[in-house]
A and B are shown apart, each in its own frame.
Chain A
């Protein structure tokens, strides 16, 4: 399985070489090999005696991240869908994309996507699953942005990326929680600990986080907004990623975790509630679209909502129906996207208002479209697979379990009605789509090119898919026990009988529901012009797109606003903010920990001489604030420095005193040198309030330092290490001046690097002065 998963990426490495010959042989033919091989590799697994297979390869064992692949009925269904549709789409793309396009890039992205998708559905390790999950987002981003010279492509690419990565990150959060609670990273092992997860205090959070991942990926309300914009991608991509495979990854995720989550009643509320809402909203909105692919996008949204809601029901009938519909949807929606692409390709537009009557010009496409849309609409005809799954859906809505949550019961009551409502609109847009395009008056004058039937190569893929529609319609039990039952079992978590699906099962409620859908739908479809105005009320001007646009737009504008408030470039402000932060936290901590101490510190006696020096220094320091003469200010600063030198003398530090004297003298000289040519000190012109703030901050900070110093001095807890220096200075260091011995020997490294600092300073100063002269000379 490892090889199967990575085969597309391996092939992708060679694509740049193949694309060199693209004029002679379309690169797509090479690409075709990958999905086809995978399809052939996995198809033998279909059979009555299927049992799950797992394979493990080490990746990062120390983090419990391994390439653990697990093939059960669920992953098998998805792998076959991905590789099967992948083969057809690649084949279709050979005729869709002209060799003048940058084929190499297109196919590299596509292959990347295939690997990502195989990885998602086959991984048993949550973190590996997440990795592949993000890879699908990235490759989808690149494919949507394939024609990135178009503004819409860039917009759509970013939108899909942000929304799906948002979901991905949230899912990652959920996975980390899960892995910590269960102490495993394997999904199967987690399933066996479902009770541990359900009883965890974090269960609600986990459920929300993981479902957010699934809902964003599967374009569930209100995250559906990225999918219509993703239609900017080339049509093969839309057919593949944004209808048949990637958007179903969310469905897959929910299905994968159903054995764990379905133990909670909230699972039903979230998944079915959101699902049914998406179904209704998607189908309602689809009728409003004018772009063929737009209709199909909203249709996809609504169909995904339907599958999602069935997973939420959690009954065996519903799960079976969901699985059945995943397969059916892939067949008819895939074919419809390809037809839309053909129409676009052959007429130059996808605007349904400019299309019509194409049936005479494109008879084969039209026929295929009729099969696809009628199946989607759920017309009760025995050769359309869509009808069966819709009927099973209705059936499932009527058999919901009792729940302990009151709201869940209300929801359960409402679901059948909502299901019918959504299906009516599904019927309407299906009819609108096919009749608007292929029937009615021809409007050839509005088209740039004269339409004609597509080349046969382009038609092969949709034909195969439509054959699937019909075949499943005629023999609905064809793959039941050998295939779908395994899938349903994997989701349901316990063994279940293969359902016998039949066309006629008596005059029962689901059939009445279907009849209502068809009759009301037909009336609405026919009278669409008359009630179209409703869209100006609902949704009217409300749109989730606007929310997204607002958020993205504001993320920059608000960020700029917030940041510009404090990032003003003003040193004063920066310093003030930093000081306030230090003050607040330090005083806070001092207070909380009761750190202030003033307990009979061992103090030296106070002498007049020292007090005088101290007073002079303090006075001088304060004078620096008031003086307006620069020379005076510098000299006063010198007073402080020399005062310090005096203190060093008093406090038995002769070396320090000497150094301080020398350094202070040089510094004063430097000060004078540098500021001689600069303007004199001006009046301090700040506002009174600013002045007050400055005073408060500086006094508070001085106080903080003093308080900490006194407290530190009062709590001398340990003997100093210096006694050792006194003892060994001569014995080991060979010097009488202990400070000198410390400097050059015991802490010689300090001194060495102190000199280095000085040397660098000298070089930097030299550069500062010299480099300017050179520049001025130039």
Chain B
């Protein structure tokens, strides 16, 4: 299953990056969201899947799933959420202010 999950995360990266290479802001941001999903899936997979019970201590259970990746993902999810929110508002403001949501038109020149 880890192999399939790795491939799935790879697909998320692929589609994410494909979107990232587009011109329109919405697509680009969707791309970043896909990439972060891919990243989180990678963390989970790298900690090995289903090696035991959910990491909540109970009596009689000895094997638990690796809790550390879960903690890391949790931190990372929250951080990505913060960044994505900012990015969304920023994209909204940038496209309003500049009158376009096409990143290729937002190149600028030397002196501004």
Direct contact, A vs B (beta carbon within 8 Å): yes
A694's nearest neighbour on chain B, judged by CB, is: B21
Sample of 5 further A-B pairs with CB below 8 A, known A606-B1, A742-B71: A621-B11, A624-B19, A698-B13, A710-B6, A768-B86
Bound together, the chains give a CA A182 to CA B55 distance in angstroms of: 64
In the complex, are the beta carbons of A667 and B64 less than 8 A apart?
A: no
Instruction: Check A701 against B75 for contact (C-beta < 8 Å).
Output: no
Q: Which residue of B lies closest to A564 (CB)?
A: B110
Interface contact A644-B17, CB-CB below 8 Å: no
Q: Does A671 contact B (CB under 8 A)?
A: yes
Question: When A and B form their complex, which 5 residue pairs have the shortest distance between CB atoms, in order from nearest?
Answer: A702-B14, A569-B107, A706-B10, A761-B82, A698-B18
**Is the beta-carbon distance between A725 and B67 smaller than 8 angstroms?**
yes
Decide if B74 touches A634 in the complex (CB within 8 Å): no
Contact B49 A604 (CB under 8 A): yes
Known: A569-B108, A736-B56, A739-B70. A706 touches B19 (CB 8 A): no
Contact with B along A657-682 (1 / 0, CB 8 A): 00110010011001101110111011
Question: Could you tell me the distance between the alpha carbons of A522 and B101 in the complex, rounded to whole angstroms?
Answer: 81
Q: Which of B90-109 contact A (CB under 8 A)?
A: 90-93, 95, 97, 101, 103-104, 106-109
Asked if A747 is at the interface of the complex by the 8 Å CB criterion, the answer is yes
Q: Which of A602, A660, A666, A695 has the most CB of B within 10 A?
A: A660
Complex formed: what's the CA distance from A364 to B57 in Å?
109
A570–B67 CB distance below 8 A:
no
Indicate if the CB atoms of B74 and A739 lie closer than 8 Å.
yes
Main SS class of interface, B: helix
Residues of B within 8 A of A (CB): 1-30, 33-34, 37-38, 40-42, 44-58, 64-68, 70-71, 73-75, 77-79, 81-86, 88-93, 95, 97, 101, 103-104, 106-109
- Whether B78 contacts A712 by the Cβ 8 Å rule is no
Say whether B82 contacts A618, CB under 8 Å: no
Which of these, A611, A697, A742, contacts B17 with CB under 8 Å? A697
Residues on B with C-beta less than 8 A from A712 are: 46
Check A604 against B66 for contact (C-beta < 8 Å). no
30 interchain pairs, CB-CB under 8 A? A570-B103, A570-B107, A571-B104, A601-B2, A603-B2, A617-B11, A622-B15, A624-B15, A637-B34, A641-B33, A644-B37, A656-B74, A659-B74, A667-B84, A671-B29, A671-B88, A694-B18, A701-B17, A702-B17, A709-B6, A710-B2, A713-B2, A720-B66, A722-B66, A725-B67, A726-B55, A729-B57, A743-B74, A750-B71, A762-B82
Give the residues in chain B near A644, CB-CB below 8 Å: 37, 40-41
A317 vs chain B, min Cβ distance (A): 61
Contact, CB under 8 Å: A622 / B11: yes
In the bound complex, residues from chain B placing their C-beta under 8 Å from that of A192 are: none
Which of these, B2, B9, B26, B68, contacts A681 with CB under 8 Å? B26
**Contact stretch, chosen from A327-335, A394-402, A444-452, A646-654:** A646-654
Measured between beta carbons, the chain A residues less than 8 angstroms from B23 are 572, 685-686
Contact B77 A660 (CB under 8 A): yes
A471 within 8 A of partner (CB): no
Q: How far is the CB of A130 from chain B (nearest CB, A)?
A: 36
Of B9, B20, B101, the contact of A705 (CB 8 Å cutoff): B9
Q: At the interface with chain B, which of A44-52, A227-235, A265-273, A751-759?
A: A751-759
Contacts of A624 in B (CB 8 A): 15, 19, 27, 30, 34
Q: Give the residues in chain B near A675, CB-CB below 8 Å.
A: 26, 88, 92
Please give the distance in Å from A689's CB to the nearest CB on chain B: 13
Contact of B85 among A640, A647, A703, A765 (CB under 8 A): A765
Residue of A571, A634, A721 with most chain B CB atoms under a 10 A cut-off: A571
Name B23's closest neighbour in chain A (CB-CB).
A572
Complex alpha-carbon distance, A644 and B45, angstroms = 12
Q: Which A residues lie within 8 Å of B27 (CB)?
A: 624, 633, 681
A-side contacts of B74, CB under 8 Å: 655-656, 659, 739, 743
Report B-chain residues with C-beta under 8 Å of the C-beta of A191: none
When chains A and B are docked, how far (Å) is the Cα of A721 from the Cα of B49?
16
Residue A607, interface by CB 8 Å: yes
Of the candidates A605, A673, A705, the one whose C-beta lies within 8 Å of that of B13 is: A705
The minimal Cβ–Cβ distance linking A581 to chain B, given in whole angstroms, is 14
Chain B residues with CB below 8 A from A729, complex form: 57, 67
Q: Which of A605, A650, A765 has the most CB of B within 10 A?
A: A765
Question: Knowing A601-B2, A607-B1 touch, does A706 contact B25 (C-beta < 8 A)?
Answer: no
Is B48 a contact partner of A604 (Cβ separation < 8 A)? yes
Cα–Cα distance between A678 and B37 once the two chains are bound (Å): 25
- Chain A residues with Cβ below 8 Å from B44 are 647-648, 651, 653, 656
Q: Are B57 and A698 in contact (CB under 8 A)?
A: no
Residues in B whose Cβ lies below 8 Å from that of A697: 17, 21
Which A residues touch B50, using CB under 8 A?
604, 650-652
Contact A621–B53 (Cβ < 8 Å) = no
A617 in contact with B93 (CB, 8 Å): no
Q: Is A575 an interface residue (CB 8 A)?
A: yes
Q: How far is the CB of A532 from chain B (nearest CB, A)?
A: 48
B10 touches A709 (CB 8 A): yes
Q: Are A614 and B71 in contact (CB under 8 A)?
A: no
The answer to whether A706 touches B26 (Cβ under 8 A) is no
Q: Does A592 contact B (CB under 8 A)?
A: no
Q: Mark A215-229, 1 if CB is under 8 A from B, else 0.
A: 000000000000000
With A729-B57, A738-B64 as known contacts, state yes or no: A576 contacts B91, CB within 8 Å: no
A719-741 toward B: CB 8 Å interface, digit per residue (1/0)? 01110011001100000111100
A62 within 8 A of B: no
A772 CA / B104 CA spacing, docked (Å): 24
Nearest B residue to A622, CB-CB: B15
Cβ contacts under 8 Å, A640 to chain B: 12, 33-34, 37
